[in-house]
Structure 1
């Protein structure tokens, strides 16, 4: 079955959805894109074959899609999400779904009413191949019960989301301490391509500790890390029986029998391989801990993750496993906002249970029960 979705917004993130639909036309079809710019609409139609519309009403005249992707700034997203939901149209919205804590609560209270359509949030990091494999190892029991996680992968709510999943945390209350360190860094590439000259920028690194009772999460990230050639990602998850550190897995088969293994990406198109150019999956020893569901499409890791979100929308709409719910997104953004408060003030900040907390805990228990 081909899923049909529309897009509201024409920024950098919208291009990801356009590329994925073009690479997987048998699975995804874009019915249209809403943008205020006539020039942008013409460019998108010329490049992608997707018709542009000036507003939602014009888009919906030509038919209602299975869901709508909302890819606009956080300060205007809630109004568009509510408009679509009030029309009975499911939504997959970019992160975060709203700007501040009060905005999150207002959006939640509006959408949590009976009869409202499904609203999911486009948090792709835990669905990307490597992080998906690493989190699968953490859930497998090899490490025992995860008690520590250090996440240096992505900013704010993205990093918090990975940290919570690594630790198996729901809406547990936490004490947060944070600080900021600034240091010089040679600029790397950006969204527009490689650097054209040497330039020194200031890297602003936030380090935070989230104390969840018997579990500890550490967030460590500078925004310059996303594109830098010389600042790598790091993930460390520890339990009483082992740890995963980036691609290395160390654990105990018995108390006197250690096992050492590595994650291995299996790529095609290398050397004399003529299968094409795509990721087949990731192995730990002889076990596949991630299989690419979209081969042989030529997608990068981020695009694979986003395609998994799109692919999961029908199940979420039908009431099955969520892609990444509004409740989870609200909790992760809430904790990220508290982290920023802690960094700005230098004080310890403590979270409290928010209106979506029970749903976050229920979804965690459901994931654990399903394995």
Structure 2
């Protein structure tokens, strides 16, 4: 199969994920053009990655129309709407990093201008991370019965809410949101730039929120330190009437009087005498492969595997396959996150309202 060719808007930390993935999987993906407005940064990106770079959107769009299936938008949220709209006007499908716009008014304005007609998908990768994908598949398998609760302490705001919606099978239903914040001391953690250079006591900002969808409950509990910290772990709880998932532990009742227990197990190659290279093969649990890595044998992190999956699915989408993470879903995730932050700031419950993108998306969460 011919490699999926795409253009890339942006040259920052997150944009480099797409460049690394294309380098690791040249038979699957190819970055044919990049748009970086700053000439110095554009030249540096071209030299480092060997990708033709442009500082003019017009030249970039022309290059995309001449050999790219779509363009990835990987810029700051305030700049997202401009590029989404310009790509839509140019007839170029867009895969957009989260969130698609800043603030509820920004989401409304973006939806009004491009709506469901534009070929836009959101690069919300968390549901495609291997362990999360395995949990989602298990939650939807019926083994746990009807799932009624998901507690997520693994990602912030719209990312965490995306996982909650997928684990619960929630689309665009409204919720009553209650939230509070808590500040506590913590020894400074690593960050995007690497490990700390000295000991420093800093503040950890935590938000705890409940999203009551009526017959289903989502709980988000997250501190920003969890992404990189050595001492702040991630936690997932999924509860159904016949069983539950607690991180990688599964318990369920195939019959009322016979409980079964299992574990979600990562299977990697390259251990001991295995000479297949070092990569994730998949996730096993409950007697089956709950997840098989479609991007093996590339040596990628879980997050890179997930981002690669958004690229692969975008390639399918532009060839006529169904939406995998629509602009409407991306707007809904961010809307709920904004209302969660408002509930925490105001100290009162917030009742969400049906938004324009929900009215245009009757099928809800895929």
State if a TM-score over 0.5 links the two structures. yes
SS of equivalent to 1:221 = strand
Q: Does 1:236 align with 2:240?
A: no
Q: Does 1:148 align with 2:131?
A: no
Mean alpha-carbon deviation: is it higher for 63-72 or for 169-178?
63-72
The runs of 5 or more residues in structure 1 that have no matched partner are none
Structure-2 residue corresponding to 1:17: 18
2:59, 2:175 → 1: CA distance? 46
Structure-2 residue corresponding to 1:5: 6
Please show how residues 1-371 of structure 1 align to structure 2 within 5 Å.
1-64=2-65, 65-112=68-115, 116-364=117-365, 367=366
Do the aligned partners of 1:315 and 1:322 also contact (CA within 8 Å) in 2? no
Q: Residues 158 and 192 from structure 1, CA distance in 2 versus in 1: closer, same or farther, beyond 3 angstroms?
A: same
SS of equivalent to 2:264 = strand
1:133, 1:249 → 2: CA distance? 12
Displacement, 1:218?
A: 0.5
Do the aligned partners of 1:34 and 1:55 also contact (CA within 8 Å) in 2? yes
Displacement, 1:359?
A: 4.3
Q: Residues 25 and 229 from structure 1, CA distance in 2 versus in 1: closer, same or farther, beyond 3 angstroms?
A: same
1:215, 1:61 → 2: CA distance? 47
SS of equivalent to 2:26 = coil
Aligned length: 363
The runs of 5 or more residues in structure 2 that have no matched partner are none
The alignment's C-alpha RMSD in Å is 1.3
1:124, 1:319 → 2: CA distance? 21
Do the aligned partners of 1:148 and 1:215 also contact (CA within 8 Å) in 2? yes
Q: Deviations over 1:131-165 (max 9, x none)?
A: 00011111111110110110001000000110011
Displacement, 1:76?
A: 1.5
Displacement, 1:214?
A: 1.2
Q: Deviations over 1:73-110 (max 9, x none)?
A: 11111011101101111000110000011111111122
1:266, 1:185 → 2: CA distance? 34
Do the aligned partners of 1:117 and 1:317 also contact (CA within 8 Å) in 2? no
Displacement, 1:181?
A: 0.5
Displacement, 1:291?
A: 0.2
Do the aligned partners of 2:6 and 2:64 also contact (CA within 8 Å) in 1? no
Displacement, 1:318?
A: 4.0
Do the aligned partners of 1:161 and 1:332 also contact (CA within 8 Å) in 2? yes
2:361, 2:293 → 1: CA distance? 27
1:117, 1:338 → 2: CA distance? 26
After superposing on structure 2, the runs of 4+ consecutive aligned residues of structure 1 that deviate more than 6 Å are: none
2:110, 2:40 → 1: CA distance? 32
1:294, 1:170 → 2: CA distance? 28
Do the aligned partners of 2:69 and 2:318 also contact (CA within 8 Å) in 1? no
Do the aligned partners of 1:187 and 1:195 also contact (CA within 8 Å) in 2? yes
Q: Residues 354 and 62 from structure 1, CA distance in 2 versus in 1: closer, same or farther, beyond 3 angstroms?
A: closer
Displacement, 1:363?
A: 4.1
